[in-house]
């Protein structure tokens, strides 16, 4: 591979095109642009793919998580356990409800919540646990369920559409599942999210909560016998509805989900094989029980063996046209949480290590074989 011919390889690019563009014509021409028939179609096929009874489309994974906690009755005086290494919104939604965030450490190999540390964090005030399926790898849900007992589990599957654990799809492993369709995810609707559950009561409640608390949806009212009569509002809700423009794109994208994951799986295997000889770089490792969704290919830089620090490596790769990112951040190390809860970085050593030494390299469906070869050659050249 010729490294003198510099390439430009983004960390991620959405795989969208003419089909998605054409899909938006129907809602635009029909005039039904807000949440309606296309959102319902998207929800139906998402529920089928993830083997759940209910799927409810919302504006983001953040609002999905918020609705999940509200529906579970989380409020002041309650505690919710979240992994210390995750995107900040996993913790923020707990504060939206007036509850207390309790961090648990993560396993720096899988980057997911450490069940041993989780067990230490449970108290009589623990009213929910949010296991995160980070980068598309499901958390150890069997062990987490044993530890949690009757405590509800809200899966943060923002990165995990199409992923699975022991043959069960993400989103069907806990009480409620939450997904993201941000452009960095394997399928996208621009912004957008989905909630999954097998609980009829929770599904009905979250359906009302996402629509201001209305007793029926706008579409139901519009097509009912008296569309001019406004619905009743029996609870305080939010405006977290997905639009039919997004739903139309989601329908097209979801039909390609497994194809996208299969393609990423092939190139993830290529990375693992080709980078095995780089002694300072640990690539993703997991057992046969897991179907990885490959939202990201997050590695771990061993600075004791590396020629440069993690940040210097990222800078040198950027100079060669290769975008990288830290896997994500340790939330307990962010100023707001550090000051609010008086936490030290070393209080959660697994999350601290993941924060300081994780590095995601490009893995997406717009990459060519030459792009992957270039990334491997560049890393080896260091």
Q: How many CB atoms lie within 10 A of CB 182?
A: 20
Going by C-alpha positions, the residue among 246, 207, 242, 240 that lies closest to residue 63 is: 240
Going by C-alpha positions, the residue among 25, 97, 29, 103 that lies closest to residue 66 is: 97
User: pLDDT (tens digit, 0 to 9) for every residue of the chain, 382 residues total?
Assistant: 778 788 999 999 999 999 999 999 999 999 989 999 999 999 999 999 999 999 999 999 999 999 999 999 999 999 999 999 999 999 999 999 999 999 999 999 999 999 999 999 999 999 999 999 999 999 999 999 999 999 999 999 999 999 999 999 999 999 999 999 999 999 999 999 999 999 999 999 999 999 998 876 666 655 656 665 677 778 999 999 999 999 999 999 999 999 999 999 999 999 999 999 999 999 999 999 999 999 999 999 999 999 999 999 999 999 999 999 999 999 999 999 999 999 999 999 999 999 999 999 999 999 999 999 999 999 999 9
Q: DSSP for 324-381, please give it.
A: -B-S--BGGGSHHHHHHHT--GGGSHHHHHHHHHEEEE---TT--HHHHHHHHHHHHH
Beta strands in 15-147 (DSSP E): 54-58, 79-83, 100-104, 126-129
In the set 119, 185, 273, 316, the catalytic residue is 185
Looking at residue 4, its pLDDT comes to 79
Question: Is 185 an active-site residue?
Answer: yes
Task: Write down the H helix ranges in 177-303.
Answer: 200-209, 218-222, 244-254, 257-274
Looking at residue 217, its pLDDT comes to 66
Question: Rounded to whole angstroms, how far apart are CA atoms 364 and 377?
Answer: 18
Angle at 50 between CA 221 and CA 271, to 5 degrees: 135
Spatial CB neighbours of 329, under 8 Å, sequence gap ≥ 6: 85, 87, 88, 355
Angle at 257 between CA 26 and CA 9, to 5 degrees: 100
Q: How many CB atoms lie within 10 A of CB 319?
A: 10
Spatial CB neighbours of 315, under 8 Å, sequence gap ≥ 6: none
Token output for 66: 């918020």
Looking at residue 223, its pLDDT comes to 62
Looking at residue 218, its pLDDT comes to 67
The answer to pTM > 0.75 is: yes
Residue ranges of domains in the chain, CATH in brackets:
18-254 (3.40.640.10), 257-381 (3.90.1150.10)
Cβ atoms of 153 and 199 closer than 8 Å: no
Looking at residue 349, its pLDDT comes to 98
Please write down the HEC assignment for all residues of 156-199.
Answer: ECCCCCCCEECCEECCCCCCEEEEECCCCCCCCCCCCEEEEECC
Question: Rounded to whole angstroms, how far apart are CA atoms 96 and 82?
Answer: 14
Token output for 225: 């016998």
Angle between helices 37-49 and 244-254 (to 10 degrees): 30
Question: Rounded to whole angstroms, how far apart are CA atoms 249 and 244?
Answer: 8
Three-state secondary structure call for residue 145: helix
Q: How many CB atoms lie within 10 A of CB 133?
A: 30
Looking at residue 215, its pLDDT comes to 75
Looking at residue 214, its pLDDT comes to 86
Token output for 257: 């989900």
């Amino acid at each position: 591979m010729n490294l003198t011919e510099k390439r430009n390889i983004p960390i991620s690019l959405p795989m969208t095109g003419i089909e998605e563009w054409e899909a938006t014509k129907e809602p635009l021409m029909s005039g039904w642009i807000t949440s309606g028939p296309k959102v319902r179609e998207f929800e139906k096929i998402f529920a089928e793919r993830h083997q759940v009874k209910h799927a409810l489309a919302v504006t983001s994974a953040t609002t999905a998580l918020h609705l999940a906690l509200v529906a579970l009755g989380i409020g002041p005086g309650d505690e919710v356990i979240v992994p210390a290494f995750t995107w900040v919104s996993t913790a923020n939604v707990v504060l939206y409800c007036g509850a207390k965030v309790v961090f648990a450490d993560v396993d720096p190999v899988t980057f997911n919540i450490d069940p041993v540390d989780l067990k230490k964090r449970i108290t009589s005030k623990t009213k929910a646990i949010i296991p995160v399926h980070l980068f598309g790898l499901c958390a150890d849900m069997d062990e987490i369920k044993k530890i949690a007992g009757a405590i509800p589990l809200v899966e943060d599957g923002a990165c995990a559409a199409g992923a699975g654990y022991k043959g069960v799809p993400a989103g069907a492993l806990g009480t409620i599942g939450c997904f993201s369709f941000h452009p960095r995810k394997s399928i996208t609707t621009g912004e957008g999210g989905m909630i999954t559950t097998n609980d009829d009561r929770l599904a009905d409640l979250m359906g009302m909560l996402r629509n201001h608390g209305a007793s029926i949806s706008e579409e139901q009212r519009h097509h009912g016998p008296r569309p001019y009569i406004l619905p009743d509002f029996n609870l305080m809700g939010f405006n977290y509805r997905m639009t039919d423009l997004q739903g139309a794109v989601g329908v097209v994208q979801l039909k390609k989900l497994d194809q996208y994951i299969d393609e990423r799986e092939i190139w993830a295997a290529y990375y693992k094989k080709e980078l095995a000889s780089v002694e300072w770089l640990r690539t993703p490792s997991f057992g046969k029980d897991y179907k990885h969704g490959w939202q990201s290919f997050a590695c771990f830089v061993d600075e004791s063996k590396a020629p440069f620090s993690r940040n210097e490596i990222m800078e040198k790769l950027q100079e060669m046209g290769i975008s990288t990112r830290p896997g994500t951040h340790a939330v307990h190390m962010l100023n707001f949480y550090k000051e609010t809860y008086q936490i030290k970085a070393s209080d959660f050593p697994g999350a601290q290590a993941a924060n300081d030494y994780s590095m995601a390299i490009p893995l997406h469906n717009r990459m060519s074989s030459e792009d992957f070869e270039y990334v491997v050659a560049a890393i080896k050249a260091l």
